[in-house]
Structures are given as C-alpha cells and as structure tokens.
Structure 1
Amino acid sequence: MDFVQTAPVLGNQYRDDRVLRAYLERALPRAVHASIEGDLDELGAHAAVAWNEARTRMPSEPVLTQWDAWGARIDHVGITPVWQRGAALTARYGLVAAGHETTHGAHARTDQFARVYLHHIASEFYTCPLAMSDGAATALKASGNSALIERALPHLLSRDPATLWLSGQWMTETAGGSDVGDTETIARLDGDGRWWLYGRKWFTSAVVGEMALTLARPEGAPGGADSLALFYLETRDATGRWNGIRIDRLKDKLGTRELPTAELHLDGAYAEPVGEAVHGVRLIAPMLNVTRTWNAVCALATMRRCLALAFDYARRRHAFGRRLIEQPLHRATLAALQAEFEAAFQLVFFVTELLGRVETGASASDDKALLRVLTPLAKLWTGKLAVRIASETCEAFGGAGYIENTGIPQLLRDAQVYPIWEGTTNVLALDVLRALGANGIDGVTRAAGALLGEAGSDRHGVRSALDAARNWLVAHSAHRDALESGARGLALTLARSFAAALLARHAAWAERERGDTHAQAALAIFAAHGLVRLDSSAMDAAAALTDNCAP
C-alpha cells in the first residue's frame, strides 16, 4: 500500500505554548493569572479544534447581494459561519471588554491580548473589526463626548452578544491612502444643525458593523489634515435601512478573504461630530496605539501557528533516514525562526503592559513616551517577521506547503496584511522618527538599561547596538532625506535591540525561577543573527539606481 504522510495536528494552543505560559507566570500577579487561566485554556482548546476541523471543511467567503428578487437595493453582506459565531465568542471571552474593565487594573490589556493572541487564527480575522471596535471605544473615551460615550460604549464593550456592536474605522480613500489629509469626503451641515456625509471610502473592513468613525471635511473648510473632522455614524437608521450608505463591491483580496472588506459611497449619511469640526486626525490618534497593538498581537499569533505546525510536521515527517527535526540544518532553521518569534513576543507583550499602565494612570514618568516609540516599532517589525515566518513555513512543508487544502498557503497570504494595515513599514518607520524627534532616544536606552540590570548582564551587545543607533541619528540629523532613507534600518535596530533586552530579562527569570533554559537559547540564537540593521548606503547611489532605471 502506498505511504500516506500524516498531517500536522495541533493540541491545546494554551497548554502547548511554553512562551505564553511562562510570560504570564512572570508578568501577572498570581491571582490575576489564576482568574483568567480557565478562559485561556478554553480558547486554546478552541484554537486547536478550529484548525483541525478547517482541514476538512470547504472554505467560504462573504457574499454581497445588492438587489433583492424584486429589484430593491438591499446591499446585504452574507458572512461565513465562523463570523456568524463571532459575536458570541467575543462576548463570552471579553475580547474587547477585558481591555477596558477595571477588575485587573493595569493588567487589563495584557489579559485581553493574551485572549486575542489565542483566538485570532481561529476567528477568520473577525479580530479585525474587534480591533477597530476597541480603537473606537478608546477614541470616544478620550474625546470626552459624554453623549456618544453613553450611546456607544455599552455596546462596544458588551459581554452580551445580543447587544454587542462592531465599529468600522473608515479613513482610507482613493486620493489619500495613508495621507488622510487628501480625504475627499464632505460633511454638510443642514439648517437644523445636523451633519450629512458624502464621499467614497475605498477600504471599509467592518461594513457589517453597527457603527463607524470616519474622517470628513466640513463643506467650505480649507484643504489639509487639520481641517478634517472626526464623525460618528451608525450604519443603519431607525427602520433598519442603510444610513445613506451604498456598498459598491467587496474587495477581491490576496488574503483575509473571509473578512468582508468593502468599497462604499456615503450619499447623505447622517453623522455626529465626535469633537469640534476640526482637528479630527488628533481625535483618532488614541486609536493608533490600540489598533497597532492588535496588529502586532495578531502577527504574533500567525507566527505561533506557523511554528506549531512546522514543529509538529518535522516530528512526523521522515526523510533521508530520520525525522526532519533530527536533520541538523532543518533543526537550525526552525530554531532560528523560533528565536525571532520569542524576541518579538517579549516586545509585543511589553507594549501591552505599557498600554495598560498608561491607560490606568499607573505608569512611570517615561512610560507614555516609551509607548509612543515602541508601538510603531513592534507593529512594523512583527508585520515583516510574520510574512517571513509564514513563507519559511510553506518551505518547511515542501510541496505540501504549496497545496491549498493543506491550509498552509493561507497562512502566508493572510500574513501579508500585517505590514499593510494600520500603516505600512515605511509609514511606521517615519512615525518612529517623529516620536524620537519629540522624545529623543534616551528613554529607550534607559528602559533597555533597566531591563539588562534585571537580567544581570549584557552578554549580547544590546548597549552597543543602541549606541550605534544613537550615533547614526546624530550623524544624519542635519540631513532630513538621509535620515528618512535610513528610517527602516534604524527602526529595526531599535526593535531588535529592545526586544533582546526584554528577552534577556525574561531568560534570566525563567532559568532562575523555573530551571528553564529555552529562553536563554533563544536569546543566544537571536543575538547571533545581529541586532544592528542600520542602513549606511549613499543617497547618491540610491538616487542613481531609482531615477535612472529604465521603465
């Protein structure tokens, strides 16, 4: 009988995740950890079942039905079965609510994002509108608009699926993209003091939600970002009809295909300003730390899924007389990927700790500035790393990694969204420059030094890497074009160096408290691949290569 290779199988993704379990044991008070462990265990079991079932289930995608049988415009979006169960799971496990509840104080965000990390891959990217809902709740709370807070927050943070709302974040337009200052949506004020929105939104990933926050330019206001206003709208009117919204089509995307991303027109959509009818971009700023953290946590979840599958397969697959996991080069390849993941994990979950402390007023003096730098760093690095690890995972399965119904190619397609959503790598690298311009690099180096002090040593050159970053900044500070052209390398150097300091602190704790040397091994491999990624290429050479290339 012909040999048939057994497929990888996942166990409980909480119990099997050494990195997550050790981190929570170290970072959370014992009582907090004990109170959430039951939910994490259930989410870990659900994640395993969802993967193992997905291999035998036909994939499904959302469907837009624009007209009913009698010719009436209905723009109905049919969602997948997993999405239909999304509200119940969100409410049951507090995937948004847990981050805003006061039960665990400054640890609320770490509690929440541990849940998100376990659930993300099983959710078919239902976590995307959850991220925007979380961001909307955060922005509304920061706005001080009591009427909208009383109206929307109980729904956004509900633990009852019958009353839970999803929020969209409708910013992207064909003219603007990341440059929201080119937004063309117009807000018109009528004689009764009510606002109505008109314009085209190019990407709306939560069109099935009950509300949205969106930018628009009040009619007659000058151009530029400062003249934009932030508006709150509910997607349906009191009769259940669309609120001046027309869905043009659903996007045909590379990945995240279960997620209904739409193009739409606002044609007299009733909306309310969140604050004054100016400076709307400032009002959305509180969203960014939240949605970028969601992006980084979900990128981590993809890395973890990829590695869990690759390791399981390597233990099952025999080639050249022994299991893949026993082949030296394959073992070294997987170990290098695992080390990158472990460093990234420490950085991302440190950001969740900072976010929780800042939001609850429990932060130290430098925490807010540090959060401002580390959030875009974590997002840009994990976005790129998730794509790399997903690509290596396809390769680790050989030909099976290229076959659609193994589920492996989808991991790579879906991973490509992380470097794009909530700011591309270049946009975020420039954001890091702005944060450093406002706060300097000293806060980063002080925080890294404190972490290394807890670790007891700096055997892997973290301080020298941060010194190199400081020297590079000084050397290029007078030449803005050179500074911007090297912003990626600077950002990656800072991300890798700070992550190494965090991993060193965790590794010392794990060895001391648990007798576990896995994290020490991860740190050694991670650091051996280099912390410094500074770009010293000449501006003239870059210009020559790009300006004079043949079309």
Structure 2
Amino acid sequence: MDEPIDYAALDAGRDCNYWELDPTLRRAAERAYPSESFAWASDRLREFGEVVGTTVVENSEAVEAHGPELHTYDRHGEVQNRVEYHPALEETERIAYSDFGLAHDAFHAPPGEDAPMGFVHALTLQSLLSYADPGFVCPASMTVGAALVLDRFADGERLEEYFHRLTTRDAEDYIEGAMFLTERQGGSDVGANETTAVETDEDGVYRLTGEKWFCSNIDAEGTLALARREGAPEGTEGLSLFLVPHTKADGELNDQLYRRLKDKLGTISVPTGEVEFRGAEGYLVGEPERGFRYMTEMLNYERLSNAAASVGIMGRCLLESKVHAANREAFGRTIDEYPLMRRDLVEMTVDYEAAVAVTFAAARLFERYHRDDDEEAYRLMRLLVPVAKYRTAREAVEAASYACEVLGGNGYVSGFTTERMLRDAQVLPIWEGTSNVLSLDVLRVLAREAAHEVFVPAVRERLDAVEHGSLAAARDAVAAEFDDLQSALDTLAAADTDYAQLQAKELADYVYDVFAAAELLAVAQAEIDDGDGRAALVTREFATARFGRRTARGITDGDRQAIDEFDAFVRYAAVEPTVAEPEAAND
C-alpha cells in the first residue's frame, strides 16, 4: 500500500471494510493460505469485511442491548428449554453460515471451487467477525470444532447427518455446535467429570446423567459432551464422548434442563448457562473411553479460535484508537500528532503485528497437520497453540483497556465500542484454559511430544532466512535470546516438578517472544524482497522492546522512531528497505 491510510476520514471504527483496513491481517492470511486458495478467498474476505463492518457491527449493538433470553418452562410448567434470540443475531448467523459458508467451506469445496478452503479460512473469517462481535465467534468456532471431531472420529448414518448439518450452507438446515466440558467440581480438572452414561438397547445410544456448569451456546443441536460409562476407569482415560442434541432423533425435546443463563460480564451474544442431563439421549462418538483424546482435537481448534478472536479484538481496538486519535483535537492539534500518543499507537501496532504473526503461523501448522497428517507440524502446533492462546488473550485485554484510555471518558461508556470490547476480551484468558493451565500444557508438550525438537529448527530456519543488512542487528538480538531460551528449556527439563511449574508461565512468555520475533523477521525479509521495508521497522521495534539491552531504559539513546516513522507503523505507509540503519534495532 503506497498511500498511508487516512483514519481521519472515518468517524469511528465502523461503517467500513475491516479487511481493507487491515493490511497486517491480509498479509498474514495470504502467507497462511495454500497459494491456490487465496485468490478466491481474498475476494470473499473483502466482501465479508464489508458486511461485518456494516451489517454485523450494527447487529452486534442490537444484540448487546437485547441478548438471548432463556425460557426454561412454558406457561404450564413443562420444560421447554427455549432460548429466545434477537432477529439481528439470527441475521448474523445466516450471514456467517449460509452466505459465507464459515463452517461449510472448511470441509467442502465452496461453490465454483474444486477443494475445501480449510481451517485457515474459517479462522480468518472468525478474526473479522471478532472485529464486530467476539461473542458470536464462540458458537462459530464450536460449530467448526464439533464438525472437525465428527469428521475425524465418528461413523454411522446418524452422526454423519449431524456433520452434514453442522457444515451445510442451507439456511433452513444448518445447526450450531457446542462443547459442554466444565463441571462444577472439576473445572480444568476434566478427569474429575462425574457425568455418567448408561447404554440403552439401541446401538451407540446412551442416557447421560449429570451436571454441566459452564455451557456456552446452550441450545446447540451439535453439542459434544464427555461422560463416563459404567465400569470405566477414573480420570480422563475413562471418559467417552457423546453428541447430545437439543432435540432427540424423534424430534422430542431431549431429557435435560437448562437451569439458567449466566449473568456474564461480556460476550452477551452467546447464551452460556447450566445444564442438567436427566437421562439425556447421547450418541457415542468413536470408540468408548477415547473421548478425552477426541475432545482435545476440538480443544486445539478452540484455542486457536480464541487467538483468532483476540486478534480481532486487538484489531478493532487499534482501529478505534487510530480513528479517534486522528480526529480528536486538543490544544490546536489532533492528538495523533503528539509524541506520547504516537508512541502508544506504535507500541499497540507492534503488539498486534506479533499476535497476528504467531496466530497465523500456528494456523498454518494446524492446517498442515489436518491436511497432510504431518507429525512435525502437529508437534510444533501443539506447542504454539497454547502459547498463542495464552499470550494473545492477555494482549487483547491490554489492547482493549488502553483503547478505552485513548478514547478518554467516552471509551468507558456504552455505545463507544471499547468498553464492550474490554468486557468481551476479559473472557479470552479464561475460555479453553487459563494462563496457568496453558503454561502447564507447554511443559507437558515439551516432555511428552519432545516439541523442542521441532521448535528449535523452526526458529533457526527463520533466523537463517534473514539476509538484508537492515535486519542484521535484530536477527543477532533474537539469536542471542534464542540461545538463552534453549538453556532455559534444558534447565527446566532437568528440574524438579515444582520448580518447572513455578517457571512455566515465564517459559511460555519466552517461547512466544522468541518465536514471534523470528516469524516477524521472516516476514520482514519477504517484504523487503518485495520492495517494502515497513515490516523491518516493526520487527526491529519488537526485538528492541522484548530483548533490547538499553541503558537508562532507553531515555538516553535518542530513539525518535515512533515520531519519525509514525505513518509507516500506524498508517501503513510504504517504506524503502534501507530507511533505517541496522544499529537501530539493538543499541
């Protein structure tokens, strides 16, 4: 993009095309898609960015004011478990599933194409959706995730029909997915699951009894739930997976009670509640006692989706901040002309670029694993997905919080978007595993999957690809940290359990920072090869912020880059690759 984006031309971060206004997302998606798919996908993503930035963003505001309502009983006191939705949310569902095939195109060739678009396409659509309605990304994600599990592990005509309906474009036939995992006594300790499953006379059909405590998309027809069969072992190894629909095969309401919806801080558009299975009909997925393994396949996708949602929130909050700063005048100047605001926007931009880079690198690996059954891609994906989910979720909360500050008093007021984004963002560190759980998963993956054996060469490959002199200092800084990270990995591999767990979050942060820097270096080199040095500026700034050894906290080094190169960082102005000296990265 030769001309910088004129954010002053917008009144707010809506009534616009989010795809067109986010070159970072566009370039990351292009790198992640198979080359033969992106030409088709880019046109559809452009259309989707326009629809989300106009229709969906308007719908999201209506749904925020009129969220789903649960009617557990009818007027005669009979259980009906009916969730009432605002028509605006129903329109958003139709747009996502029917008009743009969010779940369909991941598994089936879209109209006019010869092959499915894969999971990268679904994740990119979800990032754009999160610009407007992060809450709706939850059911959209679980719909794809449930379909993934059925596609890989289920057999039989009954479950094949559910897979078809989860992935259809037919506006009259599609259903949504859900994952009922959390129980009151268990939480992250899934092995403490107390829900039981009793076999019936019908093959593969069970009756489930128990309580699920945090059930998002509570009335989904494609709900997956874990339960323990009679005589099965304790812990996760004794769990089986079942599809538990809202209505049974005969069309009658399933034997469960939706007790209440949670009064949540945010994500109003997805109904989250408590469910009692009262002999509910469930259909066994795959083999008995392998349910936890099956569910982790969905969980990997959900965590990656969580990162994609974080990217969307960060992108929207950054957009709102840029637009406000370009229009708000104080003391005779727009506030984006002031050095401190420029520094803030540059720092927010660099954090966003890193989050996008790591998320879509993990998405590429997820795609490779599922498309090619690539073991190396799986092992690296299993390391990067929890790391990406953990850090991007925290970054989204920080970005939303600071965007409120940029907008001042309005940023804290309903109707100005940022306060809703902050409320929606706050669930992202909780969904699909807290920061501590994810950090412990990193230790587990390193120990069980020997993920360091694929992580180390992946980083080294990215560092070795750097050739341009303007990236040399940043590459050297990252390489030095990479050496230290390997020492950290060796130390924790030999440490006792308590010490390893004590340092687990520090290690997850370290893995994120080093991989993000290496990925940004590779991106910068590729863009320099194409004649643009902007990504080099971003990469050097990230390396300096994370790894720079600055005296006096950088105050004495005279770095004025946030002022001098503001248009490049924030407004996407093109940059000559030699615009900055190599020494700027790590004085």
Tell me the TM-score normalized by structure 2.
0.85
- Corresponding position of 1:335: 346
SS of aligned partner of 1:8: coil
Please show how residues 394-433 of structure 1 align to structure 2 within 5 Å. 394-433=404-443
Among 119, 132, 142, the residue aligned to 2:142: 132
Among 57, 80, 86, the residue aligned to 1:80: 86
Deviations 1:503-527 (A, max 9, x none): 11111222321x3332222112211
2:541 pairs with 1:525? yes
Give the Cα separation in 1 of the matches to 2:355 and 2:473.
Answer: 19
Among 504, 518, 525, the residue aligned to 1:501: 518
Change beyond 3 A, Cα 1:465–1:173 = same
Among 74, 94, 107, the residue aligned to 1:100: 107
Instruction: Name structure 2 gaps, 5 residues minimum.
Output: 1-9, 549-587
Deviations 1:83-103 (A, max 9, x none): 212332112212122222355
Q: Is the 8 A contact 1:55 1:406 kept in 2?
A: no
- Report which stretch shifted further, 213-222 or 181-190: 213-222
Change beyond 3 A, Cα 1:313–1:500 = same
- Corresponding position of 2:489: 473
Q: What's the CA shift for 1:122?
A: 2.9
Letter in 2 for 1:39: R
SS of aligned partner of 1:163: coil
Q: What's the CA shift for 1:458?
A: 5.3
Give the Cα separation in 2 of the matches to 1:77 and 1:155.
Answer: 20
Q: Is the 8 A contact 2:108 2:116 kept in 1?
A: no
Q: What's the CA shift for 1:239?
A: 5.2
Please show how residues 68-217 of structure 1 align to structure 2 within 5 Å. 68-89=74-95, 90-101=97-108, 108-123=118-133, 125-190=135-200, 194-217=205-228
Give the Cα separation in 1 of the matches to 2:130 and 2:199.
Answer: 41
Letter in 2 for 1:459: A
Letter in 2 for 1:78: E
Q: What's the CA shift for 1:416?
A: 0.8
Letter in 2 for 1:71: G
Please show how residues 297-376 of structure 1 align to structure 2 within 5 Å. 297-361=308-372, 363=374, 366-376=376-386
Give the Cα separation in 2 of the matches to 1:520 and 1:184.
Answer: 53
- Report which stretch shifted further, 88-97 or 146-155: 146-155
Deviations 1:41-87 (A, max 9, x none): 11111222147646985721111122323333322111233321233
Q: Is the 8 A contact 1:106 1:360 kept in 2?
A: no
Aligned residue pairs total 525
Among 38, 47, 53, the residue aligned to 1:42: 47
Change beyond 3 A, Cα 1:470–1:117 = same
Q: Which has the higher contact order (CA 8 A, sep 6+)?
A: 2
Q: What's the CA shift for 1:9?
A: 4.1
- Corresponding position of 1:289: 300
Deviations 1:414-439 (A, max 9, x none): 00111110111111111111111121
Change beyond 3 A, Cα 1:244–1:54 = closer
SS of aligned partner of 1:13: coil
Among 493, 500, 511, the residue aligned to 1:483: 500
Change beyond 3 A, Cα 1:500–1:335 = same
Q: Is the 8 A contact 1:377 1:492 kept in 2?
A: yes
Give the Cα separation in 2 of the matches to 1:104 and 1:445.
Answer: 36
Among 24, 42, 47, the residue aligned to 1:19: 24
Give the Cα separation in 1 of the matches to 2:154 and 2:194.
Answer: 27
- Report which stretch shifted further, 523-532 or 193-202: 523-532
Letter in 2 for 1:424: T
Give the Cα separation in 2 of the matches to 1:51 and 1:94.
Answer: 15
Q: What's the CA shift for 1:200?
A: 0.7
Please show how residues 48-63 of structure 1 align to structure 2 within 5 Å. 48-50=53-55, 53=58, 59-63=65-69
Give the Cα separation in 2 of the matches to 1:41 and 1:303.
Answer: 19
Change beyond 3 A, Cα 1:507–1:253 = same
Give the Cα separation in 2 of the matches to 1:450 and 1:272.
Answer: 46
Q: Is the 8 A contact 2:60 2:132 kept in 1?
A: no
User: What is the identity percentage for the equivalent residue pairs of Structure 1 and Structure 2?
Assistant: 33
Change beyond 3 A, Cα 1:320–1:422 = same
Deviations 1:250-308 (A, max 9, x none): 00001111211011100010112213331321121211221111111111000000001
Tell me the TM-score normalized by structure 1.
0.90
Letter in 2 for 1:160: D
Q: What's the CA shift for 1:222?
A: 3.9
SS of aligned partner of 1:216: strand
2:12 pairs with 1:8? yes
Q: Is the 8 A contact 2:411 2:419 kept in 1?
A: yes
Q: What's the CA shift for 1:373?
A: 0.7
Indicate the RMSD between aligned Cα atoms, in angstroms.
2.3
Letter in 1 for 2:532: D
SS of aligned partner of 2:135: coil
Change beyond 3 A, Cα 1:104–1:510 = farther
Give the Cα separation in 2 of the matches to 1:444 and 1:274.
Answer: 33
Letter in 2 for 1:246: L
Give the Cα separation in 1 of the matches to 2:245 and 2:56.
Answer: 35
